[in-house]
């Protein structure tokens, strides 16, 4: 269990990226959803001990230890696997050599043990056939799978993956998600993303972060139940009509479907003529939560 308590972070330029975020993250896949700039990467970097928050605490308890992460970052690092949003430059060495080198850095000194680790991981992430090719020449999906292999070195208890499927094509995304789903049972895996389907597909628990605050957390299925009977759909004919609806009711999303714009509205009863009820999806929940949290944050108008 990873426990975050009242985490805040203010960057040197005054940006408040985290604003009293508190969250309990149990064993298993945990989805952290939020729009661009919500504070996900800042939160992931704080948990990964790459930056210290301005205030708050982080505690990681697992079967073999209880770690005060901000006071004992080296203990956390020994049990952490981290796949950052962007690796930056990839060297022109083969996947095998790079993984071997990273295993040395993770403290796996014995040659035999290292060989076993590297070979097992390359097979696990399905890169065995291309192990001798330079990582610099890999496709986006192959790089992300390599990223998982390096994050799994040393059997970590806490794994953080930051926006892993952004930019992957559907087949690669599916392959990547299957790989994540197969990671061990007694591990906390935090998946930070703005792709709602990734969370819907993979995560029994989730939270939504917006403007540095945790605005909702729980089990996706139970959370979407709260929308029952409250999501309504209607096609709109023009931008002016859309603007009218947005002014009159809580429009949680509008998108093109088959060339027509369809709005989803959150309301306890049918909000007007032409609306039909729809089963609320996780995407509706996400948009509804963001719309409500924006409304709460907006200054009251007279």
Ligand X SMILES: Nc1ncnc2c1ncn2[C@@H]1O[C@H](COP(=O)(O)OP(=O)(O)OP(=O)(O)O)[C@@H](O)[C@H]1O
CA distances from 27 to 41, 149, 187, 215 (A): 20, 20, 6, 21
| Smallest separation (angstroms) from ligand X to the CB of 32 | 9
Q: Which of 21, 29, 38, 195 binds ligand X (CB under 6 A)?
A: 38
Residue given tokens 């009159």 in the structure block: 248
Task: Indicate whether 123 belongs to the interface with ligand X (CB under 6 A).
Answer: no
| Smallest separation (angstroms) from ligand X to the CB of 214 | 12
For ligand X, which is the closer residue by CB, 143 or 234?
143
For ligand X, which is the closer residue by CB, 44 or 288?
44
**Size of site (CB under 6 A) for ligand X:** 13
DSSP letter assigned to residue 72: -
For ligand X, which is the closer residue by CB, 9 or 145?
9
Q: According to CB under 6 A, which residues from 88 to 107 bind ligand X?
A: none
| Smallest separation (angstroms) from ligand X to the CB of 19 | 10
275: which residues sit within 8 A by CB, 6+ positions away? 232, 233, 234, 265
Task: Indicate whether 210 belongs to the interface with ligand X (CB under 6 A).
Answer: no
Q: Which of 1, 6, 26, 37 binds ligand X (CB under 6 A)?
A: 37
For ligand X, which is the closer residue by CB, 15 or 178?
15
For ligand X, which is the closer residue by CB, 15 or 139?
15
| Smallest separation (angstroms) from ligand X to the CB of 14 | 8
Task: Indicate whether 39 belongs to the interface with ligand X (CB under 6 A).
Answer: yes
Task: Tell me whether strands 213-218 and 158-162 are parallel, antiparallel or unpaired.
Answer: unpaired
Q: According to CB under 6 A, which residues from 3 to 32 bind ligand X?
A: 11, 13, 15, 17
For ligand X, which is the closer residue by CB, 17 or 67?
17
Residues 185-204, one symbol each (x = binds ligand X by CB under 6 A, - = not), give: ---------x----------
For ligand X, which is the closer residue by CB, 163 or 201?
163
Residue given tokens 């390599």 in the structure block: 146
Three-state SS string over 79-142 comes to CEEEECCCCCCCCCCEHHHHHHHHHHHCCCCCHHHHHHHHHHHHHHCCCHHHCCCEHHHCCHHH
Partner residues linked to 208 by β-bridges: 33, 216
How many residues are recorded in the chain?
302
Task: Indicate whether 164 belongs to the interface with ligand X (CB under 6 A).
Answer: no
The distance in angstroms from the start CA to the end CA of the chain is 45
Q: Which of 42, 117, 165, 210 binds ligand X (CB under 6 A)?
A: 42
Rounded CA-CA distance 209/213 in Å is 5
CA distances from 270 to 9, 196, 231 (A): 42, 26, 9
Q: Name the token pair of 4.
A: 């975050």
Interacting residues with ligand X (CB under 6 A) = 11, 13, 15, 17, 34, 36-42, 194
């Amino acid at each position: 269990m990873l426990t975050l308590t009242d985490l805040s972070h203010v960057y040197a330029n005054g940006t408040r990226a985290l604003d009293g975020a508190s969250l309990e993250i149990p064993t298993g896949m945990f989805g952290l959803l939020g729009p661009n700039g919500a504070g996900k990467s800042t939160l992931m970097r704080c948990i990964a001990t790459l930056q210290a928050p301005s205030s708050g605490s982080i505690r990681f308890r697992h079967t073999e230890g209880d770690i005060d992460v901000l006071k004992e970052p080296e203990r956390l690092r020994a049990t952490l696997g981290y796949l950052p949003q962007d690796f930056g430059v990839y060297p022109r060495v083969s996947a095998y050599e790079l993984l071997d080198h990273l295993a040395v850095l993770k403290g796996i000194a014995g040659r035999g043990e290292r060989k076993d680790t590297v070979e097992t991981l390359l097979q696990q992430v399905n890169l065995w056939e291309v192990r001798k090719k330079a990582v610099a020449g890999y496709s986006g999906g192959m790089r992300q799978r390599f990223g998982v292999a390096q994050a799994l070195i040393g059997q970590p208890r806490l794994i953080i993956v930051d926006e892993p499927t952004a930019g992957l094509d559907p087949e690669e995304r599916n392959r990547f998600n299957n790989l994540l789903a197969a990671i061990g049972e007694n591990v906390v895996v935090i998946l930070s993303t703005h792709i709602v389907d990734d969370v819907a597909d993979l995560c029994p628990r989730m939270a939504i972060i917006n403007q540095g605050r945790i605005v909702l957390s729980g089990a996706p299925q139970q959370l979407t139940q709260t929308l029952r009977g409250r999501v309504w759909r209607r096609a709109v004919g023009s931008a002016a009509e859309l603007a009218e609806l947005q002014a009159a009711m809580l429009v949680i999303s509008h998108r093109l479907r088959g060339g027509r714009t369809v709005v989803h509205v959150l309301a306890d009863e049918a909000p007007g003529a032409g609306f039909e009820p729809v089963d609320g999806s996780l995407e509706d929940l996400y948009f509804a939560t963001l719309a409500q949290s924006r409304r709460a944050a907006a200054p009251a108008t007279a």
